[in-house]
Amino acid sequence: MFLGQNKIFLLQKMFIIKRISLIIAICLVAVISYSNSFNGPFHFDDLPFIVENQTIRDIGDIGAIWKGVLPQHSRFVAFYTFALNYHFNKLDVFGYHVTNLVIHIISSLLVWWFVALLIDSPGINDERIVKNKHNISFFTALLFVCHPVQTQAVVYISQRFASLSTMFYLLALCMYLYGRSFRSRGKIVWFVGSGLAALLSMFTKEIAITIPIMEGEMNLVCTRMLRRLIHYRPLLFLTDQMYSRAVLRENIKFT
């Protein structure tokens, strides 16, 4: 009995060490990929949003940050992070770039969790995918963290609106998916957490308004209802694209 428990403990310890090693690997890849951007100067929207923005000079003046320099208040969270950066770094770009990179790394780890949760859902029945869940989710996160398409969101400081909103977006989806796995009242905590993350995302950038639609689509993926609706896939795709384009058009007005 004791030997059996000891073996389980060792396996759990090895699993934790492996996970920590993989997390460190993702962090190292991210730092290596973007290390030459830490001293990149402010560009374009960085000037009105950070350099010339007097509303972010005092982190205690919430009213001024809330009022901001834009006609809408839906980017308050991102502006507050700029205020925090200004408080600690003034106009030294290094701190701003490091913050952007940390946000990107967290998003990568959330992608890892998100893919693993999707594979665990009842809608996925392919044994090969389930068997290789950890490898698939890890390499997806690794691709996400170093893919060139992410460069602008990480290097361009003002694109924190998009990257930070994406981080909260992914957190909302992960907490929602994880909450679905509970059959007790414990799921309520995760659903509330998902709602709070969605709210933070919506007050970072307007793209987060699509979160309810994404959660609805995940409901189909996570249940066997997806098979019944497979014939309506083009219609679902078209509806999602039309909604996303409408949101994007509204978003462009404020950028």
Q: What is the pLDDT of residues 83-119, one digit of tens each?
A: 999 999 999 999 999 999 999 999 999 999 999 998 8
| pLDDT mean across residues, the chain | 85
What pLDDT does residue 217 have?
79
Cα–Cα distances (Å) from 171 to 89, 191, 250, in that order, read 27, 11, 24
Residue 242's CB: how many other CB atoms inside 10 A? Answer: 10
The model scores a pTM over 0.75: yes
Burial 108-122 (b: 16+ CB within 10 A, else e): bbbbbbbbbbbbebe
Q: What is the pLDDT of residues 209-227, one digit of tens each?
A: 999 988 887 777 666 544 4
Nearest to 164, CA basis, from 197, 210, 117: 197
Nearest to 80, CA basis, from 89, 92, 71, 68: 68
Q: What is the pLDDT of residues 56-88, one digit of tens each?
A: 999 999 999 999 898 888 899 999 999 999 999
Q: What is the pLDDT of residues 24-43, one digit of tens each?
A: 999 999 999 999 999 999 99
Q: Roughly how many angstroms between the first and final C-alpha of the chain, as a whole number?
A: 64
Q: How much is the average pLDDT of 230-234?
A: 49
